[in-house]
Amino acid sequence: MSELDHLPENRADETPREGTEQIDVRRGMFGPSGTGDTSGYGGLVRRVQLPGATPRPYGDWFDAAADELDSALVSAGYSFDDAIEKVVVEHGELTFFVRRERLLDVMRSLRDQAALRFEMCMGVSGVHYPHETGRELHAVFPMMSVTHNRRLRVEVTCPDADPHVPSVTSVYPGNDWHERETWDFFGIVFDGHPALTRIEMPDDWPGHPQRKDYPLGGIPVEYKGADIPPPDERRAYS
């Protein structure tokens, strides 16, 4: 656990860490409060902070990668700023935040540019930030270059009200099932996917279980005739 896990209540609204944007403050681990919390984690306070753009120079090979991507995008008829919202270097890792309408152009450039050659997209993960208004849903693509032994991330956002991003299966066919899983659990619609259906939950399952607004329990258990109450309604033990 980080030092933020132990912050007292009166420190929760302090200024966010430099270079980040605070979008939420979470209390407890599972959401319950009062006597319903039997977890022992009710006193935790965490600030939800998102990193801002990293200024140049980025360091390591990251500047050269950004320059190569810029060159490839210009060759395709776009500017770097047309496609990239921001570049973030955090914990020694490089992330390109990509505008969703340019996602496929960026992916092709990362794959085909000889100096980049990110031949592998390792899947896609969803993230839900309900308090990041207009950017509530994030899709994160971890990329790997076997040729150059490098890794980076591509991240794209979309709003709850319009949860659509392009499917990258035309560039990286192996992402087929990964996009289905992210749709299943987070409700991100991958436009152009060949068969966007659920892959974990039953076809008629309501909602997307890994979103932050999905209930923690209280879901009927099939075949058992019982249900699991939400944490704040469970019995408290003294």
Q: Any idea which of 65-74, 124-133, 219-228 has the lowest mean pLDDT? A: 219-228
More confident residue, 21 or 98: 98
Judge whether 136 and 159 are in contact, CB under 8 Å: yes
Distances (CA, A) of 11 to 5, 8, 15, 30, 33: 11, 6, 9, 20, 18
Residue entry with tokens 């270059």: 145
More confident residue, 235 or 157: 157
Q: Which residues pair with 90 in a beta bridge?
A: 93
Judge whether 84 and 98 are in contact, CB under 8 Å: yes
pLDDT band per the 50, 70, 90 thresholds, residue 42: low
Cα distance between residue 8 and residue 25, in whole Å = 12
User: How much is the mean pLDDT over the chain?
Assistant: 85
**Domains, in order of start, for the chain:** 1-51 (no CATH), 62-191 (3.30.460.80)
Judge whether 19 and 51 are in contact, CB under 8 Å: yes
pLDDT band per the 50, 70, 90 thresholds, residue 238: very low
pLDDT in tens, 61-77: 999 999 999 999 999 99
pLDDT band per the 50, 70, 90 thresholds, residue 21: confident
Q: What is the mean pLDDT of residues 111-125?
A: 97
Q: Any idea which of 20-24, 59-63, 152-156 has the lowest mean pLDDT? A: 20-24
pLDDT band per the 50, 70, 90 thresholds, residue 4: very low
pLDDT in tens, 169-211: 999 999 999 999 999 999 999 999 999 999 999 888 889 999 9
More confident residue, 226 or 155: 155
pLDDT band per the 50, 70, 90 thresholds, residue 16: low
Cα-based angle 42, 129, 22 (whole degrees, multiple of 5): 75
More confident residue, 93 or 29: 93
